Structure 1
Amino acid sequence: MDDHKPDVKPGNVQQISIRLRDQQNNEIEIKARSTTKFQKIAKAYANKKGIDLNYLRFNLDGERVKLEDSIGELDLLDGDVVDVNTDMIGGVHVVIDDAQKGTTRARWSCHECFWNTTHCWYIKP
């Protein structure tokens, strides 16, 4: 049982360009070394886009990318494209406060819904 990892020598580390493509086909190119953890690239992308990293999902050839993996471990090559998806369940379109009844109604447009509907009403006392 040999848990020996290959030695990483300065000559073995290469820099590549990775393209991150969002759902609207907008791309951001980021250069990184093969030893760079993908989390660093993901954070750079999130900062550039102004989106919280927790709401982003990264996929390579249909498989979810693990943030703790390095570029080399993911077998990314120069010019490879990583798909970026926003993890969103729904968003509020209308919020109505009814002070007389003491309730708040919010209309949601869900992307994923257990009831297979596009609009739900949620009443909060």
Structure 2
Amino acid sequence: MTDTATDKTVHLNVKVRSATGEEVYFKIKKNTALKKLMDAYCTRENLIPASVRFMFDGNRLKPTDTPEKLDMEDGDMIDASVEQTGGY
């Protein structure tokens, strides 16, 4: 039997939204490094992790950031966009 009050304080449900507006939902612990979420998103979307920029509240996320460090709340959204490299 789990204590749902405790579960709610330990886990967050967050959305990762692509540039096209598609949303992918993740359940993550507040103290888990966001690298785990970033890698899972890239694997699911068949993207190269180094080519994807993750933003939260206008700031670029670092793989070592945690939801707790960023004061994320249940239902928050992270924006993911594929970085464009220069053209000719």
TM bucket (normalised to shorter chain) is: 0.7 to 0.9
Aligned counterpart for 2:82 among listed residues 82, 86, 92: 86
Counterpart for residue 3 of structure 2: none
Give the alignment's Cα RMSD to 1 decimal. 1.5
Q: Tell me the number of residue pairs that the alignment of Structure 1 and Structure 2 aligns.
A: 82
Q: Quick check: which one's strand share is greater?
A: 1
Aligned counterpart for 1:68 among listed residues 41, 48, 64: 64
SS state of the match for residue 29, structure 1?
Answer: strand
TM-score, normalised relative to structure 1: 0.61
Counterpart for residue 18 of structure 2: 22
By relative contact order (CA 8 Å, sep 6+), the higher-ranking structure is 2
Q: Quick check: which one's helix share is greater?
A: 2
Structure 2: stretches of 5+ with no match in the other structure? 1-5
Structure 1: stretches of 5+ with no match in the other structure? 1-10, 91-109, 111-119, 121-125
